[in-house]
Structure 1
Amino acid sequence: MTLDVLRALAGEIAIAVSSGQVSARAVTDAALARIATRNPQLNAFTDVTRDRALAKAAVLDAGAAKGPLAGVPFAVKNLYDIAGLVTRAGSKINRDNAAAGDDALVVEKLDAAGAVLLGALDMDEYAYGFTGENVHDGNSLNPHDPSRMTGGSSGGSAAAVASGMVAFALGSDTNGSIRVPASLCGLFGLKPTYGRLSRSGVFPFVASFDHVGVLARAAADLASVYDAMQGRDVADPAQAPRAAERVLPLLGQGASGLRIAVAGDYFRRGGRPECFAAVDAVAAALGATREVVLPAAAAARAAAFVITAAEGAAFHLPRLRERPQDFDAAVRDRLFAGAMIPAESLLRAQKLRAWFHRRVAALFEEVDIILTPATPCRAPLSGQKTIEIEGTEVTVRANLGIYTQPISFIGLPAVTVPLWTEGETLPIGVQIIGPPWREDLVLRVAYELERKGVARAPVA
């Protein structure tokens, strides 16, 4: 069998390695060569773990038990601990820390499943951004057009997968940091339910919002990686005490029987025509005609801004006091502003959060899936500060997450699926949202859209 490992999906690579049709070493060598060729242009990787990857491939080829991700090359955002590397979290300050002694728990799980870690990936400083731009490590660039941004903060993760350097990558999502780059780089991106996956060994940003998740080029790959990462972790106090619930075997059920609605009102404003057209195309493919309203979504987004700034500032206060000059100025100033938010404002934001959660939970008694845009536009130019939307000039950094923030605000599971318009060279994503703990539903819908050819994620 001839396998194009630079375009093959994770599931295809695992089958080929497990059956002996291709060696893990051959896959790893091809991925390392691809990194050497593409990374200087795209700036996806901050560290390449070449020796570790080759050692893992040798173990697999020597007859070690083959897991469900045998030989699949992957990489992780550089806020995940990797044994022997400093977890820099996109910052200058963290570089003075000692190297991690162990891998983050989910990285350990993927290693146990046979996946081959190739390194750490670029990100916005301390995950506080939506652009994939970093003053310390440089900007990650969009493989479909390197003059464009990847989106962030998991920008390096998106660039690595979209360019074929790895088959999948881990990111983190606080306010949209997986779903935004998935949209701009044309990938499938999964943010699970808050508390579903362990965050042990992952550098935090906003503890009450932080999620770990994955970007890949197929819905089935999202499911395989998600299944491998599940499992109880008593060391993460935010993780829910739920047993693993595998989703890969359920994908074939597709969207059959699901009550699917399009979000109106707030989610039909604030974007360019292409983002709404993408939602309409997905709705048509799924036969979804119902429209629902997420009440007070604009207020939910505003409250998410308040909590993000306040919690982020509280966590970073020692660094702000001791080394303010070593922050990205834009990140530092937002954190300083967060430190000055009155307690009353934070309390009101938390009350709104609880109210919004109850109202959306009631909505999910009537529907199973809600569709929204993932981003308000296609990828802006790298370094672009403002963009015109509906006749108004708005800031890029603050507005790329306009549709993702109300969703992570209450921890709902969501998948971004990538759509391509004929004649366009850049993709745009649609967000598929489900009720808590129903990752199976959002992934089933993503898989159905992929099967129908509506969503696709070609290698750039």
Structure 2
Amino acid sequence: MTQATELLLGDAAGMAAAVRAGQISATALVQASLDRIAATDGSVNAFTALVQERALTRAWMLDHAGASQKAKPLFGVPFAVKNLFDVEGMPTLAGSKIERASPPAGQDALLVRRLEDAGAVLVGALNMDEYAYGFTTENSHEGPVHNPHDLARIAGGSSGGSAAAVAAGQVPLTLGSDTNGSIRVPASLCGIFGLKPTFGRLPRTRTYPFVSSLDHLGPFARSTRDLALAYDAMQGHDAGDPGCARREAQPVSALLDAGTTGLRIGILGGWFQDRAGPEARAAVARVAEALGARETVELPLVEAGRAAAFLITNAEGAALHLDDLRQRAADFEPLSRDRFLAGALLPAAWIARAQRVRQQYAEAAARVFERFDILLAPSTPCPATTIGQEFFDIGGQPLQVRPNMGLLTQPISCIGLPVCSVPVWGAHERLPIGVQLIAAPWREDLALRVSAFLEEAGTVYAPVAPL
């Protein structure tokens, strides 16, 4: 194994330190990433496009940069983005066939630019569910993403390519989106760390929307520290996204070692236990034991909140695609098309009521956070299912995979809470499953502190898949 490959399979913080110290060039590191993608992506199918010339040119420029440039936290680190982020010179596909004819993006998405301002190097765009509507990334236009830990299984979705690329060691950092669980579900199934920040924390400027009142953007990584570095680099208000909060950046990297002393940590019961399989419940129990958490609490109105999220997702998602549904229905994936059509037919009164329920649910959740700083819940009901599998079983009840792999994440997205999904491995299991560390709005620092504590204790970890 070359030095570049060995570094690539480590963490982003270590890569940046090695490039800064002159132990390796940014060009060699980026080339190692491109080489690993070439060697492994025929099996994984995480990438839909590479920007090789751009990446190597930028790496060369970093290698010839001055000392002030080399202080950047992600100096020379390769990364990739879900293909709903604008990348200059490429059409933004959003996982669809229809967008292939769209003109190329005139400039990069804001978060791509911010990561590059922090020294990172974009290498490509990643596979996803069509228009981000799904939890499996079994994309009929691009082919399914395969879970690097078991190539017969799904990577989760809709940011499946983003999670799989990190788990496969192709890049140490990726960006995805999360409307109803599309960061936390693939992070759970691929055994990596994923952060869904508070709604409005990171600007969505120049990304393809799905449901504007629910869409979040966030990073994937193989360590908490890397998540924090990427998150810190991307913070800050931008007027290009009307949903972006007018808040100052609140960096978290320096807070990761603060530990968990004094934090009030609860275990979500009810919905989050009843709809979790044995592996998911065992993962939460392991994390709770490591944290000394014993009190179980129920989140009021959670089932109504999930129902509200379904209706809002259907209606807002459909509204974006009405013209194409009328004129190019055959070019949609059948399942996406049918759900969009159903959303277009929903009565306005239902959506108005769903928004009222959402507000009531948010108020009820805020009262729970008066007693707790962090809440624990499974990220997915079960580990990764096989590609093409239609149902999984929870407590003797068969549930459809595509809508229900996110049944434990959707109620949290609905009210915009920040969550870090951390990977847990069973003692005798070869497949991971995630646990959600859920915090009150704007307290990403607490979720990441707990994640760092668990990682230091060895309770959670994200190995590169042995492809």
* Shorter-chain TM-score tier: over 0.9
* Residue matched to 2:432: 427
Counterpart amino acid of residue 265 in structure 2: I
CA distance in 2, matches of 1:384, 1:2: 40
2:53 to 24, 41, 51: 51
* Local SS of the residue matching 1:74: strand
CA distance in 2, matches of 1:292, 1:18: 47
8 Å CA contact retained: 1:179, 1:416? yes
* Residue matched to 2:18: 16
**How far off is 1:296 after superposition?**
1.6
8 Å CA contact retained: 2:8, 2:15? no
* Local SS of the residue matching 2:151: coil
8 Å CA contact retained: 2:149, 2:431? yes
**How far off is 1:270 after superposition?**
1.4
**How far off is 1:8 after superposition?**
1.2
- In the TM superposition, what are the counterparts of 1:266-285 in structure 2 within 5 Å? 266-285=271-290
**How far off is 1:252 after superposition?**
0.4
1:406 to 411, 419, 426: 411
**How far off is 1:272 after superposition?**
1.0
- In the TM superposition, what are the counterparts of 1:308-347 in structure 2 within 5 Å? 308-347=313-352
* Local SS of the residue matching 1:147: strand
* Local SS of the residue matching 1:41: helix
* Residue matched to 1:255: 260
**How far off is 1:5 after superposition?**
2.2
* Residue matched to 2:205: 200
2:218 to 209, 213, 225: 213
* Residue matched to 1:287: 292
* Residue matched to 1:445: 450
* Local SS of the residue matching 1:226: helix
CA distance in 1, matches of 2:371, 2:191: 31
TM-score by length of 2: 0.97
- In the TM superposition, what are the counterparts of 1:39-438 in structure 2 within 5 Å? 39-64=41-66, 65-66=69-70, 67-438=72-443
CA distance in 1, matches of 2:440, 2:361: 13
CA distance in 1, matches of 2:323, 2:257: 50
Counterpart amino acid of residue 166 in structure 1: V
CA distance in 1, matches of 2:111, 2:58: 17
Q: Deviations over 1:370-414 (max 9, x none)?
A: 000000000000111111221111100111001100100000000
* Local SS of the residue matching 1:239: coil
Gaps of 5+ in 2: none
Q: Deviations over 1:194-217 (max 9, x none)?
A: 000010011000000000001100
* Local SS of the residue matching 1:99: coil
**How far off is 1:234 after superposition?**
1.1
8 Å CA contact retained: 1:43, 1:141? yes
**How far off is 1:438 after superposition?**
0.5
Counterpart amino acid of residue 206 in structure 2: G
Counterpart amino acid of residue 335 in structure 2: A
* Residue matched to 2:27: 25
CA distance in 2, matches of 1:178, 1:294: 22
Gaps of 5+ in 1: none
Q: Deviations over 1:267-322 (max 9, x none)?
A: 11112111011001100000011111100211111111010001101111111111
* Local SS of the residue matching 1:228: helix
Q: Deviation above 3 Å: which 4+ runs of structure 1? A: none
CA distance in 2, matches of 1:308, 1:285: 36
Sequence identity percentage: 55
8 Å CA contact retained: 2:177, 2:216? yes
Counterpart amino acid of residue 272 in structure 1: G
Counterpart amino acid of residue 286 in structure 1: L
**How far off is 1:2 after superposition?**
4.6
* Local SS of the residue matching 2:96: coil
- Comparing 56-65 and 275-284, the one that deviates more: 56-65
1:457 to 446, 457, 462: 462
8 Å CA contact retained: 1:5, 1:30? no
Counterpart amino acid of residue 281 in structure 2: F
**How far off is 1:63 after superposition?**
2.1
Counterpart amino acid of residue 115 in structure 1: A
CA distance in 2, matches of 1:429, 1:302: 23
**How far off is 1:161 after superposition?**
0.4
**How far off is 1:6 after superposition?**
2.8
8 Å CA contact retained: 1:183, 1:427? yes
CA distance in 2, matches of 1:433, 1:9: 24
CA distance in 1, matches of 2:343, 2:147: 30
TM-score by length of 1: 0.99
**How far off is 1:254 after superposition?**
1.9
* Local SS of the residue matching 1:118: strand
Counterpart amino acid of residue 35 in structure 2: A
8 Å CA contact retained: 2:12, 2:77? yes
- Comparing 98-107 and 313-322, the one that deviates more: 313-322
Q: Deviations over 1:127-161 (max 9, x none)?
A: 00000110101100100000000000000001100
Counterpart amino acid of residue 415 in structure 1: C
